[in-house]
Amino acid sequence: MPATVLVLVETINDYLPILENQGFHLILAPTPAERAQAIASHGGQIDAVLTRGPLGLYADEIAALANLKIICVIGAGYEQVDLQAASDRGITVTNGAGVNASSVADHAMALLLSLVRDIPRCDAAVRRGEWPKIMRPSLAGKHVGILGLGAVGMAVAKRAANGFDMTVSYHSRQLLSDVPYDFCSTPTELARASDFLIVCTPGGIGTQHLVNKQVLDALGPHGFIVNIARASVVATNDLITALEQRRIAGAALDVFDAEPQVPDALKALSNVILTPHVAGLSPEAARGTVELVGQNLMAFFSDRPVLTPVKLPKSL
């Protein structure tokens, strides 16, 4: 009998035939109402759940899925998946770390270029029939700080160093001995050394508000910040205040605390660029994501080790 997968993700439908061709039965539930209905109606027959970090899977939902054996999370982050509840049930959790790194890194650099060179304001001016000569900094020779040197951080670092002749520093949980970039022991030290700060670290309790008033003040009035990671890593109120007071030069954000709601204070600022959490979206990333999910599911249901397991807490 084929395994049944509850799909909570709304951005990969074009590639779901990959899973169907592998023999999996899919139940699509991309909205909150459909999700609740699917769990209530089909909870006993669902073997696997496909979700993403912000969508998560909660303890009460896990409890309602009596036959659940594996949770597959697309992307690196899994902050809203109740890992303790999964561990207590012996449920395997996998993620998709690295699959969409190129897409996210491309978007990070696009945001950085648009922000530093003020592309949206120039575009709007030309459309109004204006022809302003806006003087903006160059990226070449500048110092970029990368907060979190995982797959995405590494992809950003390579683009910045090799494509734009930038000096790269980073802060991660630990010093990496095999990278040619300077390590900074704290986010504040990293910001102080940087012209541009790019947030690439996963979300969750361990990284919550790593970027706060102290870090933003260290970045300074000529510094720019880009966040393509999770909104929780940056203290939003501190960021808004720093932008309003011009204690930093600008920000480009692809992630927000209460998506799809975005604070009006951010929308009102001229030194901010906003995109709707699309950094990881590309046809290449979507296909790669679903292929990895399929590989993990095929391995699991064939009693082989999954490819990208998430470390779970000890069961209670």
Half-sphere exposure for 71 (CA within 13 Å, toward CB) = 32
Residue of 230, 247, 287, 291 marked active site = 230
Give me 214's structure tokens.
């102290």
Q: What burial letters (b/e) apply to 57-75, b meaning 16+ CB within 10 Å?
A: beeebbeebeebbbbbbbb
Give the sign of the dihedral formed by CA 230, CA 291, CA 49, CA 301: negative
In whole angstroms, what is the distance from residue 84 CA to residue 104 CA? 29
Residue 69: helix, strand or coil by DSSP? coil
Residue of 209, 277, 287, 291 marked active site = 277
Residue of 259, 284, 287, 304 marked active site = 259
Q: Is 259 a catalytic residue?
A: yes
Whose CA is closest to 173, among 202, 197, 152? 202
In whole angstroms, what is the distance from residue 214 CA to residue 302 CA? 50
Strands (E), the chain: 4-7, 25-28, 48-52, 70-74, 92-94, 143-147, 167-171, 182-183, 196-199, 224-227, 250-253, 272-274
Q: How many CB atoms lie within 10 A of CB 258?
A: 9
Q: Is 171 a catalytic residue?
A: no
Q: Cα separations (Å) of 81 from 164, 167, 188?
A: 37, 36, 29
Q: How many CB atoms lie within 10 A of CB 312?
A: 17
260 preceded by a cis bond (ω within 30 of 0): yes
* DSSP character string of 128-149: TT---------STT-EEEEE--
Q: Is 159 a catalytic residue?
A: no
In whole angstroms, what is the distance from residue 40 CA to residue 43 CA? 6
Helix (H) or strand (E) holding 243: helix 236-244
Supply the residues annotated as catalytic.
230, 259, 277
